[in-house]
Amino acid sequence: MASGVKAVILLSGGLDSTTTMAIARSEGYDLYALSINYGQRHRLELDKALKIASFFSAKEHKIIDVDLRGIGGSALTSDIEVPKDRGVDEMSHGIPVTYVPARNTIFLSIALSWAEVIEADSIYLGVNILDYSGYPDCRPEYIKAFENMANLATRAGVEGKNRIKIKTPLINMTKAEIIKKGIELGVDFSITHSCYDPPEEGIACGSCDSCLLRKKGFIEAGITDPIKYAA
C-alpha cells in the first residue's frame, strides 16, 4: 500500500483490539488510534490503550468522552453485577448482562466522524463472534449494514468518493488464533488488559467472562499469559 493511507483503529486496551492494531500496521496503514472513555467501570483500560498506541507508534491517539453511564442498561455502565465463574457454554447462550446497548454502533459512529475528518480509508474493529455469539453488534451482517449506512451518512454518500471500509479481521477467529496472530505480529500482551472487574490495579480477577475466555485462549494457544490474575 502507498504510505500515508490512514486507518482509524478502535482501541480498548484489550487483546482483541491490540491484535487488530497489529494487523492494521502489518497491512501498511498509518494508525490513528481511538479510545472511548464511556464511563466503563475503571479507567485502567484507557491507561493500557495509551501504552499500546505508543508501542505501535500510532500517528495520533484520541480519547473521546461519551457518557454511557447516563444511559445505563449494562453491567459495564451501571451497578448491575459482573457475572463470575460461568462456564464457557453458559457464556455462549443469550445476550450477557455485560452487553452495552448499541455500544459498537456508538463507537463506530465516533470513529466514522474522525475517519471523515482525516480522510481515512478504513476503520478497524476487533470484534469476534465465536466467544460471545449473543452480542448482536459483533455479527458480520451488522458490520455490513453499518458500512452501508456509513457511506450514505458522510460526504462519500453525496460526492461518491472516499468510501469508508469497516474491517473486522478477527471476526471468525478463536481467542487462541487471535493470540497466536498477535504473537506472530510482535504484540506484547503484558500491556493488554481484558478483565471486566479488576480487584486492584495491575491484577485481573480471573473469574469474569472476559478473564475466563482469555485464560482459555492462552492455554489453547500453548502460550503463557504474561498478566497477573487474582484467581
For a copy of itself, the binding residues in 167-226 under the rule CB under 8 A are none
Q: What torsion, rounded to 10 degrees, do the Cα atoms 54, 58, 59, 65 define? A: -80
Kindly tell me which residue out of 44, 46, 130, 149 binds a copy of itself, with binding defined by CB under 8 A. Answer: 149
Return all residues near 75 (Cβ < 8 A) that are at least 6 apart: 81, 82, 83, 96, 97, 98, 196
- State the greatest distance between any 2 C-alpha atoms of the chain, in Å, as a whole number: 55
**Dist. CA 18–CA 204, nearest whole Å:** 17
Q: What are φ and ψ of residue 87, in 5° steps?
A: -75, 155
Determine the interface stretch with a copy of itself among 152-160, 179-187, 188-196, 222-230 (rule: CB under 8 A): 152-160
3-class DSSP assignment, residue 129: coil
Determine the interface stretch with a copy of itself among 24-32, 79-87, 149-157, 175-183 (rule: CB under 8 A): 149-157
CB of 119 to a copy of itself, least distance (A): 10
Site string for a copy of itself, 104-143 (x = CB under 8 A): xxx--xx-xxx-xx----------------x-xx-x-xx-
Q: Is residue 163 a contact residue for a copy of itself (CB under 8 A)?
A: no
Q: Give whichever of 136 and 186 is closer to a copy of itself, judged by the CB atom.
A: 136
Q: Is residue 229 a contact residue for a copy of itself (CB under 8 A)?
A: no
**Dist. CA 218–CA 131, nearest whole Å:** 14
Query: How many residues of this chain bind a copy of itself (CB under 8 A)?
Result: 44
CB of 104 to a copy of itself, least distance (A): 7
Kindly tell me which residue out of 26, 54, 148, 190 binds a copy of itself, with binding defined by CB under 8 A. Answer: 148
User: Of the candidates 157, 68, 79, 45, which has an alpha carbon nearest to the alpha carbon of residue 112?
Assistant: 157
**Dist. CA 158–CA 210, nearest whole Å:** 41
**Dist. CA 62–CA 36, nearest whole Å:** 8
The dihedral sign for the CA sequence 31, 126, 26, 175:
positive
CB of 110 to a copy of itself, least distance (A): 6
Q: Give whichever of 29 and 135 is closer to a copy of itself, judged by the CB atom.
A: 135
What length is written for the chain? 231
Q: Is residue 160 a contact residue for a copy of itself (CB under 8 A)?
A: no
CB of 113 to a copy of itself, least distance (A): 4
Binding residues vs a copy of itself (CB under 8 A): 62-68, 70-73, 95, 100-106, 109-110, 112-114, 116-117, 134, 136-137, 139, 141-142, 145-146, 148-150, 152-158
